[in-house]
Structure 1
């Protein structure tokens, strides 16, 4: 299996947390991740798998602004694989289930009050890198 984003996700630890990346502290080892995902009857996109391998145990990044769901908490609802929610549970983010075989699919956001989905017009990797840049951006003042 090729690795498209694993090293880029690992690089977020030194970039934003000013520490070396450590598999035991920051990532989820592949055998443990496989066990967590085996409970599901769906496969996750490559980019989400690599995200968990790199950052799945890093609370500082998994809960930096919104809350990424643990691999065993992933669920399908409304035809979307849900993986992220905001603190107030007003929104959830997911992938369309017909796009789960795409290595880096487009992210969609659901307004929980209205139940409607809207495209974020970017892939998971784009969304994550942009979100962390925004969250950890230094205040210019």
Structure 2
């Protein structure tokens, strides 16, 4: 399948970290496949390309929220979990019945209640908006 999101995710390194994207910022296909091990589901294209572009870039993988490393991905409550907040109050995931969609809608679970709510945006929209918010609004000094 053709790359749809890879270059967009790679462009986040120079945009927010003021450095050129380097091979080490991402994972290779072999590294990703090895890390996924026996995950019982296939990743949506967008999440696969996210890891290929940024899976080795801690400054982005741990910016505000924490993206799971590929070997930490979990299937729970009918969702593939990929992100959590610092206090572990929320977790984000994709509905399992939407994993074949190249860029599925993101859902958030409030862990205390166990309730899921749509973020009303796809993974690529959510991630790009989140990084913009983290780096542009929470860290205005980065733009000086």
Q: Does 1:103 align with 2:102?
A: yes
Alignment TM-score, normalising by the size of structure 1: 0.96
Moved over 3 A (4+): none
Aligned to 2:86: 87
- Structure 1 residue 37 displacement after superposition: 1.7
Does the Cα contact within 8 Å between 1:39 and 1:72 map onto a contact in 2?
no
Alignment TM-score, normalising by the size of structure 2: 0.94
Q: Does 1:58 align with 2:57?
A: yes
Aligned positions, number: 140
For structure 1, the residue ranges without an aligned partner over 5 or more in a row are none
Deviations 1:13-65 (A, max 9, x none): 000000010112x1011111111123212101000000000000100000001
* Alignment partners' CA distance in 1, 2:140 and 2:41: 41
For structure 2, the residue ranges without an aligned partner over 5 or more in a row are none
SS at match of 2:118: strand
- Structure 1 residue 84 displacement after superposition: 0.1
Q: How does 1:1-141 map to 2 (within 5 A)?
A: 1-24=1-24, 26-137=25-136, 138-139=139-140
- In angstroms, what is the RMSD of aligned CA positions? 1.3
